[in-house]
Amino acid sequence: MRKRSADPAKIVPSDITPYQQYLSRRALIAGGLGFAAAQSIGGFAGVAFGQPAAALTYVRNGALSVADAPNSYTDITTYNNYYEFGTDKSDPSENAQKFRTRPWNVTIGGEAEVTGTFSLEDILQPHPLEERIYRLRCVEAWSMVVPWVGFPLGDLLKRFKPTSKAKFVEFKTLYDPKQMPGQRAAVLEWPYVEGLRIDEAMHPLTLMAVGLYGKVLPNQNGAPLRLIVPWKYGFKGIKAIVSIKFTEHAPRTTWAGSAANEYGFFANVNPAVDHPRWSQASERHIGANAFGRRQPTLPFNGYAAQVANLYNGMDLRKFF
């Protein structure tokens, strides 16, 4: 068997464990270890979810992780973009501490057989959790490496049986200006809206994150539920999701709606397509040990082998 490359640019589809196989492997492991392990399969058993930094039960998905060293917990939780809590990088960690993530509901709507409002527990309960170390490339030309804990978005979406008209998925953040001071100003159109094409949403790399560094997501990182699409600019990773809607047409997303010439719907990381106001050819890696280190930006953020085929025949300069 070929040895798997640690470089995500060199990972080929056959390196990635098919999800069903991964699940049955998990079941086998759990069976071998007996009751304690079997109980942990749900991931949420015994977790006081409203409490920040509560420990999660998860399995590391090495095949879908990059080999780069993750940034520190401090870097990841104090250098944030979350305009609902302010526009400075330090604002979210300072202003989001009292944000209430329980009780929490998610509304599922649009082109699907199963729709309605579901509690966070209903949404999360059936999904085993995995840790995946992903690169995060912000559109502002900085990057980090984050050990997320979550589950494949596609596994969640399938539960609602999208119809053949479901060509896109739209996500919305909570709108609550009382709790989110940033929403009292017209910095962006609120609530924050993001979207994916259905095949992007179903791609095995697309993650619904509920934690990082093995613990429940801190509020500033998007608790209780946020999206991660590692081959796209970070702004696709919408935080504090309260609505998921299957649509026939591409949703109007917040950033594309505010400046269509600067932020495209696809937002695939592409060093060859500059932002009109700055280059995307390289990025500054954030971190105490690497502050200011510039590195070249990789096509699709290093995930080209897994996702480039989603865009066959598309002019990526036009559909940026």
Interface segment toward ligand MTE; rule CB under 6 A; list 26-34, 79-87, 155-163, 291-299: 79-87
Interface segment toward ligand MTE; rule CB under 6 A; list 59-67, 76-84, 125-133, 152-160: 76-84
Going by DSSP bridges, is the β-strand pair 282-285/168-173 parallel, antiparallel, or unpaired? unpaired
The smaller minimum CB distance to ligand MTE, of residues 82 and 246, is found at 82
| Distance from C-alpha of 107 to C-alpha of 286, rounded to nearest angstrom | 35
Amino acid at 52: P
What minimum distance in Å lies between the beta carbon of 184 and ligand MTE? 15
| Residue for token pair 């119809």 | 163
The smaller minimum CB distance to ligand MTE, of residues 111 and 194, is found at 194
Question: How many positions of this chain bind ligand MTE (CB under 6 A)?
Answer: 17
Residue nearest to ligand MTE (CB): 234
Q: Is 81 in the site for ligand MTE (CB under 6 A)?
A: yes
What minimum distance in Å lies between the beta carbon of 148 and ligand MTE? 9
* Residue from 82, 134, 231, 300 binding ligand MTE (CB under 6 A): 82
Q: Is 172 in the site for ligand MTE (CB under 6 A)?
A: no
Cα 176 to Cα 92, 210, 245, distances in angstroms: 15, 20, 19
Q: Which of residues 216-245 bind ligand MTE (CB under 6 A)?
A: 221-222, 234-235, 237-240
Q: Is 52 in the site for ligand MTE (CB under 6 A)?
A: no
What minimum distance in Å lies between the beta carbon of 63 and ligand MTE? 23
| Distance from C-alpha of 213 to C-alpha of 101, rounded to nearest angstrom | 19
The smaller minimum CB distance to ligand MTE, of residues 111 and 283, is found at 283
φ and ψ of 132, to 5 deg: -135, 125
Positions touching ligand MTE (CB under 6 A) are 80-84, 136, 138, 173, 192, 221-222, 234-235, 237-240
